[in-house]
Amino acid sequence: MVDAPATAVLVHSPYLGPASLRPLAGALAALGHPVLLLDLRVTVNAAPVHQRLIGSFADAVEDSLVEGELVLVGHSGAGPLLPAFADALETPVTGLVYLDADLPTPGRSWRDDASVAEMNRLKSISRDGLMPRWDLWFAPEVLAAMVPDVRQLEEIAGEAPEVALAFLKEQRPSVEWSGPSTYVRLSAAYADAAAKARAAGWPVVELDTHHLAAATAPDEVAAALVRVLRAG
């Protein structure tokens, strides 16, 4: 009898919503892999954002009544929180997968490692302590090139929350993870993160796609993820 594979828990970026990963969830299910897609949008509009995200994540997994072992798959800005997410669960977590994601920097904030110009730009476009929706950080043609389907882009953009500017200044959780970690790079923007993961001895899978490929090329991303998930 073959053991059931661990459920892949898909965690969207704090700057996006579940629509950014929903097609990927469907593609994984079509391949016969158990999957759980979370919605953590309501937790990011007030500080402390990290604590609110961790608590809501644990509640969402518990409320889902998912059984068996889990592998956490964090996209983009969810990456630095994966060890803390795993630590918050009673359900066994057997691995972490960073999907075109930032890596953990325990005890450091996003601001600590960002350039002054990046921080000043986000401050300049923030209002009343809230950053604008993620899609408004870029020229419209940038996202349209990644997501040419107008309805899909509207759904993804419509779910994007206004995140508290304080999130960038909060120290990330100092939680250690000693289990398996894997990196799946989708875009050139995350080449440095993939290189650091490889230098740390992690398995790294690289696809020639873009940051939102989980939404627009879900079959390709799911095929890569299933190889990773079943290899563990």
Per residue, the 3-state secondary structure of 73-130, as one string, reads EEEHHHHHHHHHHHHCCCCCEEEEEEECCCCCCCCCCHHHHCCHHHHHHHHHHCECCE
| Structural domain total, the chain | 1
- Backbone conformation region of residue 175, classed left if phi is above 0, alpha if psi is from -120 to 50, else beta: beta
Q: What are 43-91's pLDDT values in tens digits? A: 777 788 999 999 999 999 999 999 999 999 999 999 999 999 999 999 9
Identify whether 185 is part of a domain. Answer: yes
Q: Does position 4 have pLDDT exceeding 80, yes or no? A: no
Q: Which helix (H) or strand (E) holds 150?
A: helix 150-159
Q: Flag whether 1 is in a domain.
A: no
- Whether 42 has a pLDDT exceeding 80, the answer reads no
Q: Is residue 2 over pLDDT 60?
A: no
In 173-186, which positions are buried (b, 16+ CB within 10 angstroms) versus exposed (e)? bebebeebbbbbbb
In a domain, residue 35? The reply is: yes
How high is the mean pLDDT of the chain? 93
161 part of a folded domain = no
In a domain, 141, yes or no: no
Q: Which residue type, as a one-letter code, is found at position 200?
A: A
Confidence category of residue 139, pLDDT binned at 50, 70, 90: confident
For residues 107-114, give the mean pLDDT. Answer: 92
Cis peptide before 83 (omega within 30 of 0): no
Answer yes or no: pTM beyond 0.75: yes
d(CA 90, CA 69) in angstroms, rounded, equals 10
Residue 117 domain flag: no
At 1, the pLDDT band (50, 70, 90 cuts) reads: very low
Look at residue 172 in the predicted model and tell me its pLDDT. 92
What is the arithmetic mean of pLDDT over 153-164?
Answer: 94
Please give the average per-residue pLDDT across 21-43, as a whole number.
94
CATH at residue 198: 3.40.50.1820
Tokens of 36: 């759980």
Residue with tokens 């009343």: 128
Residue 167 near residue 133 (C-beta atoms within 8 A): no
Q: Which domain holds residue 73?
A: 7-104+174-231
Is pLDDT of 222 > 80? yes
Residue-level pLDDT at 138 = 84
Residue 232: what pLDDT? 61
Residue 124 inside a domain? The answer is no
Instruction: Report the percentage of the chain scoring pLDDT > 70.
Output: 98
Which of the pair, 4 or 150, is modelled with greater confidence? 150
pLDDT of residue 198: 97
Q: Retrieve residue 37's tokens.
A: 């897609």
**94 falls within a domain:** yes
